[in-house]
Structures are given as structure tokens and as C-alpha cells.
Amino acid sequence: MVEIFLRTVPFFALIGLGYWAGRTRFFTQEATAYLTKFVFYFALSAMLFRFSANLSFEEVFNGNLVLGYLWGTAFVYGIATFVAFLRKLDVATAAIEAQCAAIGNTGFLGIPMLAVIFGEAAIGPVMLVLAVDLIVFSSLIVILITGSRDGRMSLSILRTVSLGLLKNPMIVAISLGLLWSAFSIPIPDPMNEFLLILGAAATPGALFAIGASLASKSAERFQVALWLSFCKLAIHPVCVAIGVLYIFPIDPFSAAVVISAAALPVAGNVFILALHYNAAPQRASAAIFISTVLSILTVSLTIAWVSVPLG
């Protein structure tokens, strides 16, 4: 446990450095926005393309992994939605709370950290987790919020969802990389070096950007944020564990990676969605902040728990 905690410390230290820079205004909100854009569109995309271009589709895709993770994530999504409706929240607010409870910071935190802790063999499972989050649940929240406000489903909603997926650089990078691999196209050395250098900026840039963005987050609606953080950091990994270990069993190593990915704190893009749709941005902000702080301990505990069978 101590060894795993010490291995995660540098990642959270980078987040802490970014938080300090944001709080002291050494790094302004505008600077944070541009750093996030650089990581999202360039560095992280280069990393994902390079990883996926060097893997075959068979190495990445695992049907049971997708089903097990999807089952566990949908289950905690349902729990959060049910509790939200018990509190008589509207559909849009309930959808934001469910997203907080189920969607972790896989792109900016999970891929860099889990690839280091578990090795490059973890990249395939983590990319599948990221793909499920982006394709299924990022689409679902748009459909729920837009559909509830329009009062019906329409082609414009489906068009918005489809365009959102096509414009997402992480989905594009993974898809292009797998196509590149499928056609067995060699990556020229200069291109590989370019991707390696650019992709290397993803880990420190993403972690620093997480911290700097947290500096502008508030901890309002503490009780709700604590409940959503508990869902994300505790209930979600347990539900996913049931899914990938018992209902749709996969190999122990992939299961350990997927459960660890499920234990990540709330994704920052949930706040962006909440702000865009004006649906409970304060509670999304607070859930991101609190879950990230608590995850310094809980992520290490989860990794230590799932690493026991691997030892």
C-alpha cells in the first residue's frame, strides 16, 4: 500500500503544483484554458494515436471488458439517478449528478498514471474504458438533457451527438491509430519521434491543467458533492469489479486496470457540460474538487486492493 501510494504521489504532486499556480494567479484561468486545449487537441491526441497505432484491434478490443465496465458504470449511473429523482430533481440536474457519479478523469489522469503504474500493457484496457465513457455516456447526457428540455427526441439531438463524437480528438486519435495499425502501415522514425516528443507533454501538461482548473472550482453544496464523490470513488469501482470479475469475467490483469480506472475522480468535462447546459454547474464543480482531493488516498487504496491477485 505504501509503495503504491508513493508511486501515485508524483502524479498528484503535479496536480498540486497546478493548483498552487492557479490559486496564486501565477497561472490565470485564460492560461489554464489554453494549456487544457493544447493537451486535449495535441499532446494527448499524439499519445493516444501512437499507442493505438502500435496495437492491433485484437489487442485492444475485449467484448467482456466492454460489457463488464458498461454494466458497472450503468449500475452506479442508475443509483445516482434514482437518488436524484427521490430528491425530486429535474432530468437535467439528475443527469449531471449521474455523470459525476460514473465518469472519471480517464483521459487526463487515468491514461498517464495507470500506464506508469501497471505498464504499457494497461493502455488497451484504459483506452476501452475511455471509449465507453465518451461514446456511450457522453452521448447519453446530451440526449437526456436536450430531450427533456425539448420534450421529445429529434434528429437534431442525434446530429449533435454524432458531431460531438466526430469532433472529439481522443476518439479521432484512437480510431485513426487503430486504422493505421489495421493496415499495417509502418510509422516512419521522424513521425514516431515527433509523436513521442509531443505525447510526452501530455502527462505533465494534463496533470498541471487539472490542478490549475481546480483552483477555480468551489466546494459549494458540500453534502451533495460528498455523496457524488462517494459514488465515484467507492461505489463505481465496486460495481465495475462485480461486472468484470463475476458477470462478464476477464483476465485478472485487465480487471485490475479497469477497476482502477473506475476509481478515478470525477472528470473535468462534466463541469463543462453542466456549464454549457446551465444544469447544476456548482455541484459538478464541487464534486470534481472533492473527489480529486479524496482520490489522493482512495486511488492508492483501490490499486493496492486490485493488485493483490497480481502479486
CATH of the domain at 160: 1.20.1530.20
Domain count, the chain: 1
Domain extent at residue 138: 2-307
Predicted confidence (pLDDT) per residue in 295-305, tens digit: 999 999 999 99
Confidence class for position 311, pLDDT limits 50, 70, 90: very low
* pLDDT for position 266: 95
Query: What average pLDDT is seen over the chain?
Result: 88
Cα gap 104→264, rounded to integer Å: 5
Cell of 6: 508513493
Provide the CA 119 distance to its chain's centre, in angstroms: 18
Cβ distance 108 to 270 under 8 Å?
no
